[in-house]
Amino acid sequence: MERNISLDILKLIMACMIVGLHANFLEDVTVLGKTLTVQGLFRVAVPSFLIINGYYFFQALSECRFNLWLKKVFMLYLVWMLVYSFYWFSLPDYSLKSIAILGAKMIMGYHHLWYLSGMIGAAIILFLLHKLSSPMLLVFSFLSFSTGVVIQYLGNYNIFEGSFLDKFFNLIWSHRNALFFSFPFMCLGFLFNKHSIVSRISLKWAIFGLSIGLFLLLAESYTNYLNMNEYDGFDNYFSLILVCPMIFVFISKIEVKGRTKEIALYSSAIYFIHSLILSLLKGLTLLGETNLTLLTIFASIIASYFIIELNKKIKILL
C-alpha cells in the first residue's frame, strides 16, 4: 500500500543533523560555519521529531491506545539506557548526593536518550491536558516553551552571575526537559492533527513561513555568536517555535510515494546508535570533526541495517 514517506525522509535528514550536532560538524573548518549549523540549523532536528511524534500521538489518544504507546516508548527507553549503561551507570556510595545523581541520570536519560525521557513526560502531560480547549492548550504550550527559552538565555548570558539561580539556570535539564521543551512541540503536532492544519495552509504560505523561520533562527544563532564571549550551546531558541512547525507543514505538503517504512526505521536506528559509534570512533581515530561526522553517519547506517534486522526478531529496539 502506497503512503507519503516525506516525513520519513525528513526524519532521516534530522537524524543525520543530530549526528553532526554531537560530532561538532565544521568545527575544524570554520567556527562561524559550525555556529550556523551545529548551534543553528541543526537545532531544528529534535523539535521537529517531537512535532511528528505529537502529530501521531493524537491518533493514539483518539483510538484509546495511550497505554500501549507509553509502554512501547518506555520499553525503548529502558532498552537503550541498558545499551549505554557502560557510560552512565555506576554503583552509588551511601551518600544522598550520589544516589540523587544516579536517580537523575535514570530519569533524565543518558546523552541523546533525554529525547525519549522528555517525550514520555510530555506525552503524560498531554494525556492529562488533552481535553482542554485547543486555545488553552496552545497558550499553555507557548508559556512553557517561552519559560524554557528564557531560562536558557538567563543561564547562558549569566544574568544572575555568582548566584544559585545562575548555577540552576546553567543546568541543562532546567530548560531542556519534558515541560519546557518536549511538551510544547508535541502539543503543536497534536493540535496540527486535531485541526487538520496542514491542509489549511497553502504551500505558498508554508514556504514563506519556513523562509522567515530559517532566517530568524540563523539570525538568532549569529547574534548569540557575536554577543557571547564564550559561546555556550543552545537547545532553546525563540525562533524554533516558528521554523519547526513550518518545516513540518512544508514537508507534509510534498507528496513522496512509497511502500516501505524502512526509511523511518533507519532514522530511528541512526539516532539511537550514533552516540555509541561516535564515542568509539573518537577513541580509535584522529579525524577532524567534519570527517568524523561523515564517517559516523556512514557507520551508523551500516549498524542500523543490523539493528533493523535484529528488531524483526525481538521487536524492542525500534
Q: How many CA atoms lie within 13 A of 280 on its CB side?
A: 12
Backbone angles phi, psi at 4, to 5 degrees: -80, 115
Query: What is the structure's pLDDT at 230?
Result: 60
271 lies in some domain: no
In a domain, 167, yes or no: yes
The answer to whether residue 37 is domain-embedded is: no
pLDDT the model gives residue 229: 60
Distance CA 249, CA 242 (A): 11
CA 116 → CA 64, 80, 97, 165, 188, distances in Å? 21, 10, 25, 27, 18
Backbone angles phi, psi at 90, to 5 degrees: -150, 145
- Rounded CA-CA distance 312/92 in Å is 36
In a domain, 282, yes or no: no
Structural domain boundaries, residue 52: 45-203
The confidence score (pLDDT) of residue 1 equals 63
Q: Does any domain span residue 25?
A: no
The shares of helix, strand and coil residues in the chain, as percent rounded to the nearest 5, are 75, 0, 25
Q: Looking at the domain assignment, is residue 82 inside a domain?
A: yes
- For residue 95, count other CB atoms closer than 10 A to its CB: 9
Domain count, the chain: 1
Within a domain: 269? no
* pTM exceeding 0.75: yes
- Please check whether residue 105 lies inside any domain of the structure: yes
| The three three-digit cell numbers of residue 77, written as one number | 527507553
- Per-residue pLDDT in tens (0 to 9) along the chain, 318 residues: 667 899 999 999 999 999 999 999 999 999 899 999 999 999 999 999 999 999 999 999 999 999 999 999 999 999 999 999 999 988 777 778 888 888 889 999 999 999 999 999 999 999 999 999 999 999 999 999 999 999 999 999 999 999 999 999 999 999 999 999 999 999 999 999 999 999 999 999 999 999 999 999 999 999 999 887 665 688 999 999 999 999 999 999 998 888 788 999 999 999 999 999 999 999 999 999 999 999 999 999 999 999 999 999 999 999
User: Which residues lie closer than 8 Å to 114 by C-beta, 6 or more apart?
Assistant: 108, 173, 176
Pairing mode, strands 3-4 and 257-258: antiparallel
